[in-house]
């Protein structure tokens, strides 16, 4: 992947691995979600369990073993989906302990990170710089859901690529650092509420997103928002 999408439709953010975090409750659950993704045209899915100090603490070996087991079950079930290892790291005060053993998404140079809603600016930017210094690209998970990015209402315009984009100051600093942004598909149909939908559409119109993810946690919710969110994106002329 090397920071860019491989051929096929990729889900860059899922919680398919059972018994590791608040995602799939069983292997049957995981297969159900894998089938939903495949039915919607996804060919690859990154399995990204939460890494949150004091709550979820999977290690790299545990994730890689679970991904291999899930791939075998997916293949046995005839589901045309390739699953890949990853992690969703919360950038809290304890994240630094993971810097020397980061698990990127699949074969890429991207590390999926979640921003805490309550943190000071400097430590957050220092952690992102630390990821960059280790040769990885921070991929910000569902930024449209992070209030920390939008607490400063003094948003302003800057040039992103060829587009003049309205953006909060912290987002601009992340762009200049080389961070990328992953949108949750459900955000575009209001699954996370009207504010997240508004922020997602604003960031989409600004060209800030580099990839998308289902953030799948359970089959019922996934069935409820995946096709609907994808239809909104397709109506905007966006290829997931």
Contact by Cβ (8 Å): 111, 136? yes
Question: What pLDDT, on a 0 to 100 scale, did the predictor assign at position 2?
Answer: 42
CA torsion 233-166-177-110 (nearest 10°) is -10
Task: Give the Cα separation of 35 and 109 in Å (integer).
Answer: 27
Query: Three-class SS of residue 110?
Result: strand
Contacts of 51 by beta carbon, 8 Å cutoff, 6+ apart: 57, 58, 87, 88, 89, 90, 98
Question: What pLDDT, on a 0 to 100 scale, did the predictor assign at position 1?
Answer: 41
Contact by Cβ (8 Å): 44, 106? yes
Q: What is the pLDDT of residues 132-168, one digit of tens each?
A: 999 999 999 999 998 777 755 444 444 444 454 555 6
Q: List Cα–Cα distances, 166 to 72, 134, 150, in angstroms.
A: 45, 30, 12
Contact by Cβ (8 Å): 188, 195? no
Quickly state the pLDDT bin for 206 (edges 50, 70, 90): confident
pLDDT tops 50 at residue 208: yes
pLDDT tops 90 at residue 20: yes
Task: Give the Cα separation of 128 and 89 in Å (integer).
Answer: 11
Nearest to 15 by CA among 220, 223, 191, 217: 217
Report residue 71: phi and psi, to 5°: -60, -40
Mean pLDDT to the nearest integer, 104-115: 97
Quickly state the pLDDT bin for 122 (edges 50, 70, 90): confident
What mean pLDDT, rounded, does the chain reach? 90
CA torsion 53-21-57-69 (nearest 10°) is -160
Rg, Å, the chain Cα set: 17
Q: Which tokens in the block code for residue 23? A: 């995602």
Question: What pLDDT, on a 0 to 100 scale, did the predictor assign at position 158?
Answer: 40
Question: What pLDDT, on a 0 to 100 scale, did the predictor assign at position 147?
Answer: 78
Question: What pLDDT, on a 0 to 100 scale, did the predictor assign at position 120?
Answer: 73
Q: Which tokens in the block code for residue 103? A: 């698990």
Q: Which domains are present in the chain?
A: 9-235 (3.20.20.140)
- Note the residue count of the chain: 240
Q: Which one has a higher pLDDT value, 38 or 164? A: 38
pLDDT tops 90 at residue 30: yes
């Amino acid at each position: 992947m090397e920071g860019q999408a491989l051929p096929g439709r990729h889900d860059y953010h899922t919680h398919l691995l059972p018994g590791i975090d608040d995602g799939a409750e069983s292997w049957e659950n995981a297969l159900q979600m894998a089938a939903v993704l495949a039915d919607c045209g996804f060919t690859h899915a990154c399995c990204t369990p939460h890494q949150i100090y004091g709550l979820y603490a999977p290690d790299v070996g545990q994730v890689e073993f679970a991904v291999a087991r899930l791939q075998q079950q997916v293949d046995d079930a005839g589901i045309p989906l390739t699953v890949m290892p990853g992690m969703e790291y919360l950038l809290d005060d304890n994240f630094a302990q993971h810097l020397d053993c980061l698990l990127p998404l699949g074969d890429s140079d991207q590390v999926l990170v979640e921003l805490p809603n309550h943190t000071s600016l400097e430590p957050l930017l220092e952690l992102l710089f630390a990821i960059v210094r280790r040769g990885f690209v921070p991929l910000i998970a569902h930024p449209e859901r992070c209030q920390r990015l939008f607490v400063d209402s003094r948003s302003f315009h800057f040039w992103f690529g060829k587009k003049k984009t309205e953006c909060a100051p912290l987002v601009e600093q992340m762009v200049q650092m080389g961070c990328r942004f992953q949108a949750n598909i459900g955000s575009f149909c209001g699954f996370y509420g009207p504010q997240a939908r508004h922020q997602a559409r604003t960031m989409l119109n600004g060209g800030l997103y580099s990839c998308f993810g289902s953030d799948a946690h359970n089959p019922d919710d996934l069935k409820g928002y995946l096709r609907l969110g994808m239809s909104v994106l397709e109506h905007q002329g966006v290829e997931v």
